[in-house]
Structure 1
Amino acid sequence: MKALILSGGKGTRLRPLTYTGAKQLVPVANKPILWYGIESIVAAGITDIGIIISPQTGDEVRSKTGSGDRFGAQITYILQEEAAGLAHAVKIAQPFLGDAPFIMYLGDNLIQNELQGFLNRFKSQHLDSLILLRSVKNPSAFGVAEVDAAGRVLRLVEKPAQPASNLALVGVYFFNDSIHDAIANIQPSARGELEITDAIQYLIDQQRAVEACTLDGWWLDTGKKDDLLEANRIILDTKLHHSEVLGTIDESSKIIGRVQIGANSEIRHCTIRGPVIIGENCHLENCFIGPYSSIANGVKLVDVDLDHSVILQGATVTGIHQRIVDSVIGQRVQLCVAERRPKAVRFMVGDDSQIELV
């Protein structure tokens, strides 16, 4: 069994952050989104992993994620020259996949459920494909499935104008080698891409064994700012089980709830109310840090009131007397204020920006 993780694409919905980096490397609770998928796959016993990368961000994905040693896996990087669809990614990965069954995992997705139970069903029932579904409020934004009472998939439609159900395809798929023949027999869609939904529909039309499981846990597609903040909130709520302080905290600071502070970070005259995670080599002074905030390595915050936000590596925020809420601030951003402004501000700030509120 192998795994194929898709970590290409342009990340247009997360711009400006993704003008300078891969969307799959944007951190959730100070860990790249991509790494959660790798860890989930390895936990299911699959260690031979291919990662699809793009020419624009592939070097960054490769340098940060490495050979796979940190995860107990072996990673092979596969360059997709153009974003020509999910099925196209499988097509160019065929030399890596061979005739092995595999999991395909979209690198910007997070799911609560462990993969092992789905993998066991896929193997024990000798399926050609097992897809995962989740009921959603806006099915027109996703691939949508029609299934019968036994869980057999009847029809798939990509982003239908009039959805036949509210069951969206989650970005995790299980395939055997029959998918390669299916991809060879489909044509590009109206948007010029080889759609994985069309390939699965080909399997269905050929009377192959295609079934579905409906998730009972959460599923997050982190392609937009609010989705990213929600993923950060859920991960902090479910994964941050205890406090751990490796940095230094002065006597005037208050730490309330589950808070993790990395090595060599310095906390002065601050109140931090968890769940909150703070990375290494940070300096926080005269700050209030509210719940569901993640602060990456090397961040400097002085005179800041922050809540429900994600601050990326190396950012500096000083003298902001307004409350910063629901914000994502990119790497190495410099944000300061010249005078007092209204009670709250919201930001989506890309890497290397410099902003002054006047």
Structure 2
Amino acid sequence: MKGIILAGGTGTRLHPATLVVNKQLLPVYDKPMIYYPLSALMLAGIREILIISSPEYLPHYRILFGDGSALGLQIAYAQQPRPEGLPQAFTIGRDWIAGEPVALVLGDNIFFGNGLGPMLRRAVGRVQAGEGATIFSYRVDDPERYGVIAFDSDARAVSIEEKPERPRSNHAITGLYVFDADVCDHAAALIPSDRGELEITDLARRYMEAGALHVEPMGRGFAWLDTGTHDSLLEAAEFVRTIQHRQGIQIACLEEIAYLQGFITRDMAEARGKALVKTAYGRAILTAIEDAPAPLPFGERRAGDRRRG
């Protein structure tokens, strides 16, 4: 399973803050925005990751992550000359995907909740087993702003609409998707909408109509935050700050996740923690080393193991 982070776009809703910097490099409280979607892919057990962004910003991401080896990852980069819809990620990344299942996460989405890791790994497992695609829904008060999914009495998806004037439900489609190896062919067959873009809802609808779409609701105890406006960016920062201060944890601490997932060794995690020891982020890495047993090789689990998600 591979993963793509779509971190392109012009960030016009965040001007002038994004006139000289990519939106996904802006801080959400104490770390770059892109750390949050990257952490979701890592919690899903995905280690091969493609970051897609505008040509002028890719050097910044290379400085931030390099080849990903410091996190036990393999990170590649691709250009998005101009944004033409979310499914464009699968045409840009087709050669890199190379016929494998792939997860897509939007670079401005934040996911948090107890059990998030197991939920993501279940979705990956279903797709790897040949069960089509999985999308994640979240109940909102203003569904007309999102792609909306409606269900029948048996909780099966029966309708997917993009920003409908009269939504059939309050369940929005979040910016996290897991697709089988056929996704590149499906994306290539899409026709641009009236907005002139390829729509991710059209892609999901193709799977739904084929009976190959699974919807994973994010219910009580989960948070989904979209940081596309100044207000939502501030709200996300306040949310992260509150959780971290109240619970004494770090959200999206990449080195902590990498260590607990068995992606990197104790020595690698410790070196990074010591380099950042003046920050709560760095201390969280060192605390993870102290509190957790040495992780098993990735993919193995101890009996009763419930690693933090």
TM-score tier, shorter chain, comes to 0.7 to 0.9
Show structure 1 runs of 5+ residues with no match.
244-261, 266-276, 280-358
Aligned to 2:185: 181
Q: Which has the higher helix share?
A: 2
Amino acid at match of 1:179: V
1:115 and 1:234 map into 2 onto residues whose CA distance is: 19
Instruction: Judging by fraction of residues, say which structure has more strand.
Output: 1
Give the superposition deviation at 1:34.
0.4
Deviation, 1:21, is 0.4
Structure with larger RCO (C-alpha < 8 A, sep 6+): 2
Gaps of 5+ in 2: 250-275, 283-309
Map of 2:269 onto structure 1: none
Matched AA of 1:168: A
The corresponding residue for 1:117 is 119
Matches within 5 A, 1:106-185: 106-113=106-113, 114-124=116-126, 126-185=130-189
Q: Distance in 1 between matches of 2:20 and 2:164?
A: 32
- Cα deviation, 1:165-191, whole Å, max 9, x if unaligned, reads 111111000100122222122201111
Tell me which residue corresponds to 2:303.
none
Distance 1:228 1:176, change over 3 A: same
Letter in 2 for 1:215: M
Give the drift of 1:4: 0.6
TM-score by length of 1: 0.65
Q: Distance in 2 between matches of 1:196 and 1:146?
A: 16
Q: CA separation in 2, counterparts of 1:203 and 1:278?
A: 40
What's the secondary structure of 1:86's corresponding residue? coil
Distance in 2 of aligned mates of 1:98 and 1:264: 42
Larger Rg: 1
Q: Is the aligned partner of 1:223 residue 2:233?
A: no
| Selected match of 2:217 from 214, 220, 243 | 214
- Secondary structure of 2:87's partner? helix
Question: Percent identical across equivalent pairs?
Answer: 35
Aligned length: 249
Instruction: Letter of the 1:183 partner, please give it.
Output: A
- Show the counterpart of 1:95: 95
2:121 maps to a residue whose letter is L
Asked if 2 retains the 8 angstrom alpha-carbon contact of 1:108 and 1:222, the reply is yes
SS in 2 for 1:218: strand
| TM-score, structure 2 as length reference | 0.74
Q: Does 1:233 align with 2:235?
A: no
Q: How does 1:226-265 map to 2 (within 5 A)?
A: 226-240=231-245, 241-242=247-248
In the TM superposition, 1:18-37 aligns within 5 A as 18-37=18-37
1:37, distance to aligned residue in structure 2 (A): 1.7
Q: How far has the Cα of 1:91 moved from its partner?
A: 1.4
> Do the aligned partners of residues 156 and 31 (structure 1) sit closer, same or farther apart at CA in structure 2, a change above 3 Å counting?
same
Letter in 1 for 2:76: T
1:175–1:141 distance in 2 versus 1, CA, 3 Å: same
Once the two structures are overlaid, the 10-residue window that deviates more, 150-159 or 187-196, is 150-159
Quote how far apart the aligned CAs of 1:39 are.
Answer: 2.2
CA shift digits 1:53-100 (9 cap, x unpaired): 112422223322322133221101011111011011211111111221
